[in-house]
Structure 1
């Protein structure tokens, strides 16, 4: 398969060390956010102030890599100027693209900074080519990141009916929601990734240790109980275990990671422009591991074409950083429609 048909590899940078890990291990582009609630991974200790962002941009761009700035939460009433300043900052910094979700902010960016390349965030929740084409027509959007709820056939249908570049997720945590509509977190805490930039914000999380087990709660709601020999996951509402008809199990979503190595040839064949790795809240070691192995797989696809085969070493390495040590093709290969 010719290299020009191989999707770009877009990797997460929740910190400067993570950015460098992505660049050093073969990312074509990194995506990052400000250290505030304009960014949908607004966790304490993560993200970039102006100094770190400029250093990160120098590091990436001097090595021929792109920097994408996510301003992908929704402007809150009375504070629209905070999000507008973030867009102004993106233009002043000279980022390669700004990733936006809010329609009002897209309009602002298109009018105020016509030379700023715009990408439609997954938080924009565009699941059809009509939505993607609307964003192109009204705001000049050049790329759209599709939510992780579409089958591969549905992704192909979007690509066939738009000239906008399409980016899809290829590795990392999944979300039970249609991104951009994070109702569970809003219900449990009054806050969500769309508003404050964090799902299950840490201030609502409580760990309670008792003999033989750990209990986790989110804003007082019991999310899960773990025996001493079980790994305790971060208590997000969708990934807790619930009692349903006298059975206790992960009723909404199991802790598992998307991994598309198996279907990389199909993803390339249908014309996907870029594959995104989830995980700005994860460590630099995670970023390095995932980037290195996804890069190896994409390079093998470019080199081997129809002879492409998955290396057991890639799968082994990725399984070590997968959520719950499990992998899935998610909605790409779901048996229902």
Structure 2
């Protein structure tokens, strides 16, 4: 008789919470951890209608902890050099409110947490754009980080290389909007809108987005810059400059990246085997229904991929995620570069 296949180590499922209701939906649907931010510039999804005040954080922490889930606080923007104290106070608030870990990008904020809250776990934010094990090890040795969230620009072989050479837990994005730039520090949108994506909470602030009906179709503009023109029945993606269609050498196409969502369901066993400790779902700006439905799919997929039996992507999972994909398209992104 062949030896039974041993179960794989199960990674944490880390899900977004832009509201208390979304947090509750994520926990009820099987999230191991939720990540959230305060209603200020200390987190990278800082815009109206999202995020938590102190009372909501307290309620969310109690709800999650009662059901065995953790709460990660995103303090993932870069502190204002003129006055970093709001970021320091936010770290103090997170500790007092019972957060299990802080997701941090700014080294000054990390130093504050190291010195004032040494027992609070630090996770290196994707905003820090650490893509090598040497960079991650620097943050571990200097500030004591215990997990690093990798940017969405690495191949799976590069992820494996990083995981193999650092003692820090590695977290990767599994599903959601795909950023192809230096995360949080792209200058395309700030050049067009005058607002930093890192502090404005979004690449394309609602105040700058324009949808214009024309004889040629529906124009998507960011202020005065034409990003794309859609046929009346054509799916419309979130209007960002990096995902627009432009004329290059006489050909109109997506010059940098298509409006599409990352979906790594097919890669789950490989990600687990190379030592990834957490799978992150993007979408704090999305609805509670999105959070619930996507979390349920990924809970089932991770349980199946980490189990002793054979793994395959269920058609129902793919169909469910397709309904939430940007531009109704899905990709493996940089994990699989066919031109290599």
**Smaller-chain TM-score bracket:** over 0.9
**Is the partner of 2:109 in helix, strand or coil?**
helix
SS at match of 1:141: coil
Query: 1:315 and 2:318 equivalent?
Result: yes
Among 174, 187, 190, the alignment partner of 2:191 is 187
- Give the one of 306, 327, 330 matched to 2:330: 327
Q: How has the CA–CA distance of structure 1 residues 42 and 63 changed in structure 2, closer, same or farther, with 3 Å as cutoff?
A: same
Residue matched to 1:15: 19
2:93 is equivalent to residue 84 of structure 1: no
Query: For residues 3 and 91 of structure 1, do their structure 2 counterparts lie closer, same or farther at Cα, with a shift above 3 Å needed?
Result: farther
Contact 1:176 1:253 in 2 (8 A): yes
Task: Please name the residue that 1:134 is paired with.
Answer: 138
**Per-residue deviation, 1:197:** 2.8
Provide the secondary structure at the position in 2 that maps to 1:5: coil
Q: 1:315 to 1:254 in 2, by over 3 A?
A: same
Query: Which of 34, 41, 49 is matched with 1:37 structurally?
Result: 41
Match of 1:228 in 2: 232
How far residue 4 of structure 1 moved from its aligned partner, in angstroms, is 6.6
The residue that corresponds to 1:300 in the other structure is 304
After TM superposition, list the pairs within 5 Å mapping 1:1-337 onto structure 2: 5-210=9-214, 213-305=217-309, 307-336=310-339
Q: Is the 8 A contact 1:165 1:273 kept in 2?
A: yes
Equivalent pairs counted in the alignment come to 336
Q: Report SS of the residue matched to 2:63.
A: helix
TM-score by length of 2: 0.95
Cα RMSD for the two superposed structures: 1.5
CA distances 1:1-52 after superposition (whole Å, capped 9, x unpaired): 6667111100000111111111111110000011111111112111111111
How far apart, CA to CA, are the structure 2 residues paired with 1:336 and 1:6?
Answer: 32
Deviations 1:78-109 (A, max 9, x none): 23111111111111111000000011111111
TM-score, normalised with respect to structure 1: 0.96
| Cα deviation code 1:221-264 (max 9, x no counterpart) | 11112222123333211111111122211111111111111111
Moved more, 61-70 or 322-331: 322-331
